[in-house]
Amino acid sequence: MASPFPNDIVNAFCIDLEEWFHVCEVSTPYDDPKTWETAQTCIVKDTEVILRLLDEAKTKATFLAVGWLAEHRRDLIKRISDAGHEIGCHTHFHRLVYELTPEQYEADLTRALGALREVSGQPVAVFRAPGFSIKPSCFWAYPIMRRHGVMVDVSIVPAPRAHGGINAFARDPFILHTGEGTMKVFPMSIMTALGQRIQFSGGGYLRLFSMPIVHYGFRQNHRAGRPVMTYIHPREVNPQQPRLKLPWKRRFKYYVNMETTEAKLRQMLQSYRFGTVADALAQVKHFDEYEMADGDIVPVREAAAHGSADVAQGAD
Ligand SMILES: [Zn+2]
């Protein structure tokens, strides 16, 4: 039978597993994690919708979970893991990384990884920062991640963005020499249009854009042989979720076209091949190599790159 897909590229389907009130950068009644225990919860029901869509498409995905959920919604993490999906980490308390000190970040990360590994029984080696909040001021997070067994980071948006976002950053997945070992960095997908870098395949962008624009972004990346990295939150399939009081710009982006998400996800899943982050990386034949230098990320010099085959293998 002919494949229903336009090409063999396996794209990464990611879910940022968090509650409807896990919003970044604005103050809400849920700033203090103690309030989370008694807050209304939607995540189990909303995640079931996404699990059903993935089942329909016979696709496995990577669920980047807030570590707090492993302590308070153990059954949900187990249910996702038992269904064969990959569990990754979205910090413990959903704080922006660039607002933390390295010590605070390390404490948060190790608590999250410990809880998620214990409940899921999985290695938990993929990390995404809340609000894609890895930027040059906190590249110090990479050696910390690697030291604690994170082998792939999916936190960078190589385009302008409200919080996080590094314009002109690499678009292809690459190997990063952190000084604590190598890991891979898989940037969020963007497309270029009218000379601008724009996100198209996740969250508010997926809800805002019509499907022809989303398909345009997929085609542009696939023509370059690049798998697409997506993301969605469970709350985005639930138009009935409780509403937060947010500044109007955030409110628009946070809630726009919520009723279209499920149909768009279904269409995306039927139009392209998807898998976990590991599945998407497994097909990439060449990785550029970068290293940390004076807190920055720079290409590995030619001579050093040739001598580093042994280190590069460590990132597999
Ligand atoms: Zn998040």
Give the distance (Å) from ligand 1 centre to CA of residue 128: 8
Give the distance (Å) from ligand 1 centre to CA of residue 295: 25
Whether 312 shows a pLDDT value over 60: the answer reads no
Give the distance (Å) from ligand 1 centre to CA of residue 4: 32
Give the distance (Å) from ligand 1 centre to CA of residue 102: 19
pTM of the complete model? 0.92
pLDDT in tens, 226-251: 999 999 999 998 888 888 787 877 77
288-293/174-177 β-pairing = parallel
Strand, coil or helix: what is 229? strand
Is 92 in contact with 127 (CB distance < 8 Å)?
no
Give the distance (Å) from ligand 1 centre to CA of residue 190: 19
The DSSP secondary-structure symbol of 241 reads S
The DSSP secondary-structure symbol of 234 reads G
Question: How confident is the model over 278-299, as a mean pLDDT?
Answer: 94
**Contacts for 206 with CB less than 8 Å, ≥ 6 apart:** 200, 214, 230, 232, 261, 264, 265, 268
pLDDT in tens, 167-214: 778 999 999 999 999 999 999 999 999 889 999 988 888 888 999 999
Per-residue pLDDT at 255:
72
- Where are the chain's structural domains? 10-21+37-313
For residue 247, the tally of other CB atoms under 10 A from its CB is 10
Q: Per CATH, is 10-21+37-313 categorized as 3.20.20.370?
A: yes
